[in-house]
Amino acid sequence: MGVEPIPAWPGRLIETGDTRIHVRTTPEGPPETAVYVHGLAGSARDWTDLMGELAGEARGIAVDLPGAGHSPEPADGDYSVAAHARAVVRLVESLADGPVHLFGNSMGGAVSVRVAATRPDLVRSLTLVSPALPDLLPRYGPARIAMSATPRLGELAVRWLAALPPERRVQATLGMCYGDAARVHPERLREAIEEVRRRDGLPHARAAMVGCARAIVREYFRLGPDNLWRQAGRVIAPTLVVYGLRDRLVHARMAHRAGRVFRDVRLVTLPHAGHVAQMEYPELVARESRRLMAYARTPLRRTA
């Protein structure tokens, strides 16, 4: 395990319209800004290492979505993808930095697609890591999410999980999300366990988990113009989509559909990565992200 990992970037609560939201930021300096959006049961900490890798390219701002991490629960109890997208839009608007390089993992990828499709003026480039876009072929991981989204059963499942020791819950999550959980540094493991203990003390933590799980399931069955794949087809920002071949939650076969749907896309598959490639292989994701950022700065690129 050798080198100690970098600590989490400093965080603060900010006001974005009528919403208070917690963000973690890298130091100012680069002229461009990158905004990072985590997945289900995640937080801004999920981007710590990638933000460090890209700190010389863009000032990084990782958001705790409403009810997640250190952000307070939404006043209206709305944990939908659309509500999260509105929160990200308000955050980007409040920065007044012009369009940003937008990053999203898993559920955060779905949120980021909706932002890029509905507010193209705010997004300079889009990087998606195992985005939770609709895939109705059954898999073990999505089946667990569907179970936790079921009325009454979802609350019971979350209550049962909460009764397990934090160490056991973290190990199960890492086993599901990493291609190889042995790659997790002991310090990152300690941080994750501490975060679970902290979240256990928050009265809204269970509602946030169930609400977000239900939101993902709703998106998988959504029809019409707001279907996430149809919105992906409207994204004009140059896009990078990263899939892990050991992902137990989002199958890498979705790369084929992403390649057909996104207008201006580069696809990358990492053979040993799981669901959180930005945490497992931040240096590889950063390398591809730098290529995308450089491409986004060039005037001669495809826009249709």
What tens digit of pLDDT does each residue of 61-98 get?
999 999 999 999 999 999 999 999 999 999 999 998 88
pLDDT confidence tier of residue 152, bands split at 50, 70 and 90? low
Start-to-end CA span in the chain (Å): 45
Q: Strand, helix or coil at 184? A: coil
| CATH number of the domain located at residue range(s) 11-297 in this protein | 3.40.50.1820
**Greater confidence, 157 or 245?**
245
Residue 151 has pLDDT above 70, yes or no: no
| Sign of the alpha-carbon torsion through 154, 157, 163, 166 | negative
pTM: 0.93
pLDDT confidence tier of residue 155, bands split at 50, 70 and 90? low
Q: What is the pLDDT of residue 278?
A: 98
Report the pLDDT averaged over residues 164-171: 92
What tens digit of pLDDT does each residue of 15-24 get?
998 889 999 9
**CA nearest to 36, candidates 16, 14, 9:** 9
Q: Which residues contact 32 (CB under 8 A, 6 or more apart)?
A: 57, 58, 59, 97, 100, 101, 124, 293
As a whole number of Å, the CA-based R_g of the chain is 18
Report the pLDDT averaged over residues 218-247: 96
Residue 1 has pLDDT above 80, yes or no: no
The token duo for 299 is: 């005037």
Residue type at 69 in one-letter notation = G
